[in-house]
Amino acid sequence: MMNGPAPETLLSLRGLTKTFGTFKANDSVDLEIRPGEIHALLGENGAGKSTLVKMLYGALQPDAGTIVWRGEEVTVPNPAHARHLGIGMVFQHFSLFEALTVAENIAVALPGDIPLRKIAADLERVSKEYGLPLKANARVYDLSVGERQRIEIVRCLLQQPDLIIMDEPTSVLTPQEVDQLFKVLRQLSSEGKAILYISHKLEEVRALCERATILRHGKRVGDCVPNAETAASIARMMVGADIHEVRPARHDVDRSNPLLSLKGVTMDARDTFGTALKDVSLDLYAGEIAGIAGIAGNGQTELFDVISGERLAGRPEQVMLLGRPIGHADISQRRAMGAVFISEERLGHATVPTLTLSENVILTRYRVNSGLKSGPFLNRGKAKSLLETITATLDVRKSAPDPAAQALSGGNLQKFIIGREVLEDPRVIVVNQPTWGVDAGSAARIRQALIDLAESGAAVLVISQDLDELFEFTDRLAAIAEGRLSEFEPVAKTNRNAIGLKMSGIFAGDEEAAQ
Amino acid sequence: MIEAILLTIVTASTPLLLAAIGELVVERSGVLNLGVEGMMVMGAVGGFLGMMWTGNPFIGAIVGILFGMALSALFGFLVLSLATNQYATGLALTILGLGLSGLLGEAYVGRSAIRMPALDIPVLTDLPIIGRLVFGQDLIFYVSIALVIGVAWFLFSTKQGLTLRAIGDNHASAHALGIKVIRYRYLAVLFGGGCAGLAGAYLSLVYTPQWAENMTAGRGWIALALVVFASWRPARVLAGAYLFGAVSIGQLHAQALGIAIPSQLLTALPYLATIVVLVIISQNRRLTMINTPASLGKSFVPDR
């Protein structure tokens, strides 16, 4: 399809500028990508990465500057045209349709009218080739975050692009899956396809990317060869200052009285594509941070639901909170006892997207924080002042004093959610995917808040798919696979490989049983 | 006797089916047009006027379709281009349609129409019981059946139908993929208007071939309920339309036979049935999610 020698430069952006009102989201940004190159685009949340990429993908129009694609100046009026040019994108905020099947989600994004049967076959081939298992007839509504991301990736690959934009593609994959994906990306790169790789995971960028462009406050502040730098030196370029180092709590934990216990909890899957819990037991003690690793869709949602009270356990005494059976208590009763729960779904579960932040403060706290009520009425002033405290303590960046939850970026919204719950001084806190899709600076702040809470004597349970995170700040680790929970082990006595194996469902007990 | 009852059921059901299948497409695209009653009554007056002007009931039907589409175009401009509230706009549309149709048709009240001729195929039409039922209907009846099949095929077997369902599920995602959300919705709304217009024309050209003010008598609302009752599926709309049609006819016959069922109860039956279906669907979040167009009734403003 390509005639003559391959051009030296596949894509070059010159002086790209985009202004929203008075805010310059992108200020004269230059970027060059060569064919077959894996190029990192780095920057904190709000640095302008998304804006830049949206202009490239035709979702936004630049105010100034030019896009040169294969040596010719082009305009990209819409995403369909971008795909026609050969620019594909894997979205961070998924662009999937929940009521449709996997195959339909792919068909709707592909040009032309391809029969679903052929899509299903292509899907199977590509997911096998790249190790991204997917069922063509599953409804997206029933799939986990991780599985949804696989659809995005496969959908992009099926479009045969020359440049693939990947926005945080690995945030929900296991180490093994990440390795597999990197193999795929390197293979694509050797086939001459370029990849623009947006990530906050600097170690990943160092391992994968040949060059990096760094944005800060909408401006390009530098280029580097990630391999020649350290994660810390890259982070310094991104933030413009040293990143706050997370300081793990290291003190002895009294393991006589657990604050939270599960005893042999068995529970049906939430829906046909969920995962049933099988005989799950755990004890969580004051002052510790326990972590549960696992690939998305292995029962984490069900586990979180049964602890938080969204679904009730079979018998009350199967869930014990502060020594009392609460398996049949509702979520407010559990909160009133000093437990807080942070769901993985930030918009729609942890917050109501269209309500303002102060209203979202009221929603989870009005029963426990008496200051939020005055007689039969809500005290909105108090809610706003609480919001100010949360904002200041966790450095939540927002565009207005009290914006709607959906107006915040992922990282800032998560800081708000964590702050809202942590500032109530809970005795027990359960967090599902605390830093998914959150930038390095915000993630560090969130982890530090959880560490500080554990040091003050609370029990912290973190469910996460990010092994780096779990190894960075938890004390004990277990893995969940197909609804079964492994034994917890001290972090110092285990390693990524061992946990990775457990995440794929191979537990110590099984090996003994097999022998 | 049985044949006569079945025939009246068909004529009672066809306008419900037409209006509902159109509204189904509209709602599948994520737009809720509560103005079905208004569009339908405009179709009725349009059909009658067209027939009076030309003496041809077929041209009347086309004028009816155009009247329904004109009203839906106004609705589309308001809710799609100006992003007004869909519920309020739809209700206003019904009120406008009822008033406007009364004004346009004032001079024609009480005059009778030329009834649209029915199909007559020798031998086939003369078959006992099913003959007139299957081979002796008017053109609009066959159109209504073809529309159900066509809509089902379009929604579930074509790329454009898939795209329409995707828009109804999540217009923001569709926009991110570069799908022309507003254009699709305009076409869906116009289709819905045309179907409602034809349903109205059926009333004034076939069902009771004359014009009377408010002659739709709430059928637009039943059609709206029917779409929900059918959980947005074309085949179930067909079944539901005939069920509701049969109930309304059964009510008349029951009265004639002196069976003591309060007619109010039977009139309320479609709505009761719809509530029952809604309760059943809502029991299971997954059923709700998969059946209900998730962006139904929400305004969409592209972010650029």
pLDDT in tens, A185-230: 898 898 888 999 988 777 888 889 999 999 988 899 988 998 888 8
Question: What is the H or E stretch that residue A304 is in?
Answer: helix A300-308
Name the residue with higher pLDDT: B3 or A245. B3
Q: How far apart are alpha carbons A81 and A76 in whole angstroms?
A: 6
CA torsion through residues A126, A132, A135, A139, sign: negative
Interchain pair A113, B179: CB under 8 A: no
Report yes or no: B39 and B71 within 8 Å, Cβ to Cβ: yes
- The phi, psi pair for A435, rounded to 5°, reads -125, 30
Chain A residues 141-180 with CB within 8 Å of chain B: 141-142
Report the Cα–Cα distance between both ends of chain A, in Å, rounded: 56
Distance from the Cα of B126 to chain A's closest Cα (Å) equals 43
In a domain, A367, yes or no: no
Which pLDDT score, from 0 to 100, does residue A406 have?
87
Q: Does any domain span residue A505?
A: yes
Residue listed under structure tokens 């298992």: A133
> Are the beta carbons of A38 and A204 closer than 8 angstroms?
no
Half-sphere exposure of A395 (CA within 13 A, CB side): 11
Q: Do B178 and A79 touch (CB under 8 A)?
A: yes
Cβ atoms of A284 and A259 within 8 Å: the answer is yes
pLDDT at A174: 66
Which residues lie across from B138 on neighbouring strands? B118
Task: Kindly identify which residue of chain B lies nearest to residue A79, measuring between CA atoms.
Answer: B178
pLDDT band at A2 (very low <50, low <70, confident <90, very high): very low
How near does any CA of chain A get to the CA of B236, in Å?
Answer: 19
Question: Are the beta carbons of B241 and B20 closer than 8 angstroms?
Answer: yes
Query: Can you tell me the distance from the alpha carbon of A486 to that of B29, in angstroms, rounded to the nearest whole number?
Result: 46
Domain containing A35 equals 11-239
Per-residue pLDDT, averaged over A137-160, amounts to: 83
Count CB pairs under 8 A between chains A and B: 71
Q: Do both A153 and A279 map to the same domain? A: no
Report CA torsion sign: B32, B37, B39, B40: positive
| CB-CB neighbors (< 8 A) of B304 in chain A | 59-61
- The answer to whether A21 faces chain B, any CB pair under 8 Å, is no
Tell me how close the Cα of A59 comes to any Cα of chain B, in angstroms: 7
A97, A114, A165: best to mutate for the B interface, most B CBs within 10 A: A97
Judged by CB atoms closer than 8 Å, whether chains meet at B162 and A82 is answered as no
Residue A95 has what pLDDT? 80
Question: Are A161 and A288 in a shared domain?
Answer: no
**What pLDDT is recorded for position A247?**
63
Is A382 a domain residue?
A: no
Same structural domain for residues A432 and A343? yes
Q: Are residues A183 and A273 in the same domain?
A: no
Domain match, A201 and A271 both: no
Does residue A384 lie within any of the structural domains? no
Asked, for residue A61, whether it belongs to a domain, the answer is yes
Q: Considering only the beta carbons, identify the residue of A95, A112, A139 that sits closest to B176.
A: A95
Domain boundary among A239, A273, A293: A239
With beta carbons under 8 A apart, name residues in chain B contacting A141. Answer: 286, 289-290
Q: Which residues of A119-153 are buried (b: 16+ CB within 10 A; e: fewer)?
A: bbebbbebbeebebebbbebbbbbbbbbbbbbbbb
- Asked if B179 reaches chain A (Cβ–Cβ under 8 Å), the answer is yes
ipTM value:
0.84
Query: pLDDT at residue A273 above 70?
Result: no
Average pLDDT of chain A is 86
What domains are there in chain B, each with its CATH number?
Answer: 2-291 (1.10.3470)
Report strand pairing: A163-167 vs A194-198. parallel
On whether both A223 and A79 belong to a single domain, the answer is yes
Residue A223 and residue A283 share a domain: no
Does the beta carbon of B34 lie under 8 angstroms from any beta carbon of chain A?
no
Instruction: Report the distance separating Cα B16 and Cα A455, nearest Å.
Output: 67
Structure tokens at A37: 């190159």
Judged by a CB distance cut-off of 8 A, whether residue A54 touches chain B is: no
- CB–CB contact B178 A80 (8 Å): yes
- Of residues A58 and B72, the one with the higher pLDDT is B72
A69-83, A172-186, A441-455, B34-48: range with lowest mean pLDDT: A172-186
Mean pLDDT of A487-509: 81
Residues of A with Cβ-Cβ distance to B169 under 8 angstroms: 97-100
| Alpha carbons within 13 A on the beta-carbon side of B103 | 6
Asked if residue A303 belongs to a domain, the reply is: yes
In this predicted structure, the answer to whether residue A265 has a pLDDT above a threshold of 90 is yes
pLDDT of residue B135: 79
Nearest CA among A64, A58, A59 for reference residue A26: A64
Flag whether residue A375 sits within 8 Å of chain B, measured between CB atoms.
no
- Looking at A175, A207, A239, the residue that finishes a domain is A239
Beta carbons of A79 and B290 less than 8 Å apart: no
Per-residue pLDDT band for A145 (boundaries 50, 70, 90) equals low
Which candidate, A63, A54, A57, A65, places its Cα nearest to that of A20? Answer: A63
A82 has a chain B CB within 8 A of its CB: yes
- The whole-number pLDDT of residue A230 equals 83
Using the beta-carbon criterion (under 8 Å), do B179 and A91 form an inter-chain contact? no
Calculate the CA dihedral of residues A168, B176, A416, A236 and round it to 10 degrees. 40
Residue A244 within a domain: no
Same domain, A191 and A291: no
What is the predicted pLDDT for the residue at A308? Answer: 93
CB A495: neighbour CB atoms within 10 A? 12
- List of chain B residues whose C-beta atoms are within 8 Å of the C-beta of residue A97: 165-166, 169-170, 173-174
Give percent of chain A above pLDDT 90. 42
Rounded mean pLDDT of A167-193? 79
Q: What pTM does this model have?
A: 0.71
Q: How far is A51 from chain B (nearest CA, A)?
A: 11
Both A118 and A153 in one domain: the answer is yes
Nearest CA in chain A to B178: A79
Q: Of A176, A207, A239, which residue is a domain's last?
A: A239
pLDDT at B282: 73
Q: Per residue in B8-64, pLDDT tens?
A: 899 999 999 999 999 999 999 999 999 999 999 999 999 999 999 999 999 999 999
Interface test mutation site (partner B, options A57, A108, A118, A151, max chain B beta carbons within 10 A): A108
Q: Are residues A265 and A230 in the same domain?
A: no
Residue B259: count other Cβ atoms within 10 Å of its Cβ. Answer: 10
Q: Judge: B286–A271 Cβ closer than 8 Å, yes or no.
A: yes
Number of domains in chain A: 2
Query: Which regions of chain B are under pLDDT 70?
Result: 303-304
- pLDDT value of position A513: 44
Same domain, A131 and A277: no
On whether any CB of chain A is under 8 Å from the CB of B287, the answer is no
A408 assigned to some structural domain: no
CA distance A232 to chain B (A): 34
Q: Please indicate whether, in this complex, the C-beta atoms of B173 and A83 are within 8 angstroms of each other.
A: no
Nearest Cβ partner for A98 among B169, B174, B176:
B169
pLDDT of residue A248: 64
Task: Using the CB atoms, write b or e for B64-101: b if 16+ within 10 Å.
Answer: bbbbbbbbbebbbebbbeeebebeebbebbbebbbebb
pLDDT computed for residue A185 by the predictor: 87
268-297 in chain A: CB under 8 A from chain B: 271-272
Average pLDDT of the residues in A375-391: 91
Q: Does A457 share its domain with A310?
A: yes
Q: Is B163 on the interface with A (CB under 8 A)?
A: yes
- CATH (domain of A34): 3.40.50.300
List the single residue in B159, B165, B177 with the smallest CB-CB distance to A79.
Answer: B177
Give CA angle at A342 (A339, A343), nearest 5°: 135
- pLDDT score for A508: 58
Q: Which of A22-36, A233-247, A347-361, B63-77 has the highest mean pLDDT?
A: B63-77
